[in-house]
Amino acid sequence: MKYTAIIWGVLLFLCSACEQKTEVTSPDGRNKLMLMLDESGSLYYQIFSGGNEIVRSSLMGVVAENGKYCFDSGLVYVDQTGRTINETYTLPTGKRSEYVNKSNERTFVYKNAAGQLLKVVCRAYDDGVAFRYELGNQEPVTIRHELTECTLSDETHTWMMDWIKDYENFYPERVLDTITRPTEFLFPVLTLQDKQWMLMTEAEVYFMPAMHLSKEPKSATFHYVYAPEDSAFVAEPSFKTSWKTFIMGQNIGDIVESSLVENLNPSTDFSDMDWIKPGVAAFPWWGNYLANSYIDTLKMYVDLAAEMKWEWLEFDVSLINTPFHSSKEWEDVTWIPELTAYAKEKNILVYGWDEIKVLDNEAGRDFVFDRYKEMGLDGIKIDYIDSDSKYAMMFRDTACAEAAKRKMMVSFHGETLPRGHRRRYPNIMTNEGVRGAEYYTFKGAQSPDSRHNCTLPFTRNVVGSMDYTPVTFTIRDENPRTTTYAHELALAFAFESGWICMADRPAAYLNSPARPLLEKIEAAWDQIHFIDGFPGEYFCVARCKAGKWFVAGINGGQKRRIKVPLSFLDKGQHTITLYADKEGNELHDVRIETFPEISEKEVLEIDVLPHGGFVLDID
């Protein structure tokens, strides 16, 4: 037995020396990330799930301006270490209240010809894999680019966004090798190949620019590139890149339910999170660009929030007497403390709004944040960031930290993709980075449609809260919606956001036949249970808060019957109220039915119109 063990160890050593192949496997054994060196000392990786190759052999590496920190070829394997991660943590926002972070981690060390070390930290989870590079640089170094690639099969179906600075674009479905023009794409990228789903994104981006993907025409290989604002940037000593993140599953529900992006971020150092209050917000701007200029109008929205049992008012402070861009007129307005006092009497909290150009320096942040607290505001929406640069990433980090010192919550608008920052900064309530309902107010713009809405839960909303500003019953003349009334209603439950900004005018909600349901909207959930769906076609999900379940379904362009198994419910009899499309008046009204004594063994079948939707309110 002793000699067998020695021989086995020698064989392992020889295999490692010859092929330089290393790997890490998920706790359930399904997902595997493998590294290998070729004969020139270039580093490659492969990803497997369920025994199937998901990412083909793809190049890795980092190139710096200082040649001694180039890790492109001539690498030799040095060592590896490993550990098991198994922890739980809570956050005040998100698709669940308790997060489980369980993975196997291996760190593989390589040395280049200059003697410098490159660590590749690899993690394998039951719902995906991730890796990042760690340099041992002792001084600042200019990073020119990464060599990282991702090669998929030619016929891979993709749902991904062409580059746009504010991430407010669509996710068209395309077959990878039929894309005939060179372009840059934004994360997240959803893929389907051989019945295997994968969502590519990145996580933990704080002191470097975010990454995008580029691709040559008809190629199946993506190249990781830094944001164009920072195609080269200075990295601080002991530089760590972002996590290249691959969420995987045979069932697309594995993608929808994943919290991998949060798990890859550092834990918060907040000792107290009781002051962080997610909630539903009345959002005056959508109904009247100048609504923030008048205290009587704002009080009307406070009354709306109070009557609807919501929690927040969004008061775009710097838009007093201006519709789109900030002014300083608010600094001389005397009625703001009166408004916030009026709101607090009705148990409504208020958050404000300003632009990055005002807040991109310490003096500006100190002035605005401190004045907000003096005037009774408890949060801020920061707008027009529109950048993936290193500077923008560091700005978000600083703004969140400084807001937290004042117990202020934060939302980012005109914004990039969430990359798990809310784990480190739980005072982040939501991010935009989505083409949402504000586009109904922009004449000539392409507004959200049912296909777009049915794609978002599988792409953008997987990786973090999404400030879509939903439930717009009013049909705007500038850009009329084509979704049904029930579809709009369902968005409040289908989408996740720590601040749900309800965009329509007060009468639209106060006089709605669905008002009893609107009064029950939750902004933070305890559980998520994916039911069914396909990107761009339909989506159905169950969400739970404090033991109470809701089911939301939204539909694309084809009429369909959606089956809802109720096995996620506790045993016993339940009363279910259905809010569904009212055929013949589907744009303006909703059909309401109540079903008593429904057990968890039953399967409901709900007919949904084209562009329609439904909600189940379960007691």
What is each CA distance from 239 to 100, 148, 242, in whole angstroms? 27, 16, 10
d(CA 237, CA 241): 12
Alpha helices in 264-316 (DSSP H): 295-307
What is each CA distance from 258 to 144, 159, 484, in whole angstroms? 33, 18, 29
For residue 521, tell me if it sits in a domain.
Answer: no
Tell me the residue type at 307: E
Give backbone dihedrals phi and psi of 19, rounded to 5 degrees, phi first: -105, -15
For residue 517, tell me if it sits in a domain.
Answer: no
β-pairing, 117-125 vs 128-135, is antiparallel
Please name which of 386, 420, 375 lies closest in space to residue 400, comparing C-alpha atoms: 420
String of DSSP letters for 17-30: HHH--EEEE-TTS-
Give backbone dihedrals phi and psi of 48, rounded to 5 degrees, phi first: -125, 150
pLDDT on residue 183: 84
Tell me the residue type at 175: V
Q: Is the pLDDT of residue 554 over 70?
A: yes
Q: Is the pTM of this model over 0.75?
A: yes
Q: Where are any strands of DSSP class E within 384-508?
A: 409-412, 428-431, 499-502
Element (H, E) at 604: strand 603-608
Segment 449-471 shows an average pLDDT of 98
Token pair in block for residue 521: 């909207």
**b/e string for 279-299 if b means 16 or more Cβ within 10 A?**
bbbbbbbbbeeebbbebebbb
Q: Where are any strands of DSSP class E within 139-271?
A: 141-146, 149-151, 157-162, 173-175, 183-193, 196-203, 211-215, 221-226, 233-235, 243-249
Tell me the residue type at 124: A
Q: Running DSSP on this structure, what letter comes out for residue 329? A: G
Segment 589-616 shows an average pLDDT of 97
Token pair in block for residue 523: 């902004």
Segment 390-399 shows an average pLDDT of 97
Q: Is the pLDDT of residue 496 over 80?
A: yes
Q: Is the pLDDT of residue 13 over 90?
A: no
Model pLDDT for residues 211-222, shown as the tens digit of each residue: 999 999 989 999
pLDDT on residue 1: 38
What's the pLDDT band for 181 if we cut at 50, 70, 90? Answer: confident
Token pair in block for residue 110: 């390589």
What's the pLDDT band for 7 if we cut at 50, 70, 90? Answer: very low
Segment 422-431 shows an average pLDDT of 98
Segment 291-302 shows an average pLDDT of 98
For residue 282, tell me if it sits in a domain.
Answer: no
Model pLDDT for residues 312-338, shown as the tens digit of each residue: 999 999 999 999 999 999 999 999 999
Report percent pLDDT > 90 for the chain.
95
To 10 degrees, what angle do helices 362-375 and 336-345 make? 50
For residue 184, tell me if it sits in a domain.
Answer: yes
CATH code, 149: 2.70.98.10
pLDDT on residue 21: 64
- Say what the alpha-carbon torsion angle 26, 107, 265, 388 is, to the nearest 10 degrees: -110
In this structure, of 16-25, 226-235, 241-250, 592-601, the range with the lowest mean pLDDT score is 16-25
* Exposed / middle / buried, residue 379 (Cβ in 10 Å: 0-12, 13-18, 19+): buried
Q: How far is CA 205 from the centre of its chain?
A: 13
How many domains is the chain built from?
1
Q: Is the pLDDT of residue 48 over 90?
A: yes
For residue 287, tell me if it sits in a domain.
Answer: no
d(CA 584, CA 602): 29
Segment 81-104 shows an average pLDDT of 98
String of DSSP letters for 562-578: EEEE-TTSPSSEEEEEE
Strands, sheet with 499-502, edge to edge from the N-terminal-most edge strand: 428-431, 409-412, 379-383, 349-355, 312-314, 279-282, 499-502
For residue 183, tell me if it sits in a domain.
Answer: yes
Give backbone dihedrals phi and psi of 579, rounded to 5 degrees, phi first: -110, 115
d(CA 464, CA 418): 6
Contact 458, 255 (CB under 8 A): yes
Which range marks the domain in which residue 30 is found?
19-263
Element (H, E) at 534: strand 527-534
To 10 degrees, what angle do helices 362-375 and 390-405 make? 40
For residue 548, tell me if it sits in a domain.
Answer: no
Contact 348, 306 (CB under 8 A): yes
d(CA 440, CA 581): 21
Mean pLDDT score of the chain, rounded to an integer? 95
What is each CA distance from 567 to 223, 599, 604, in whole angstroms? 43, 9, 11
Element (H, E) at 79: strand 76-90
pLDDT on residue 345: 98
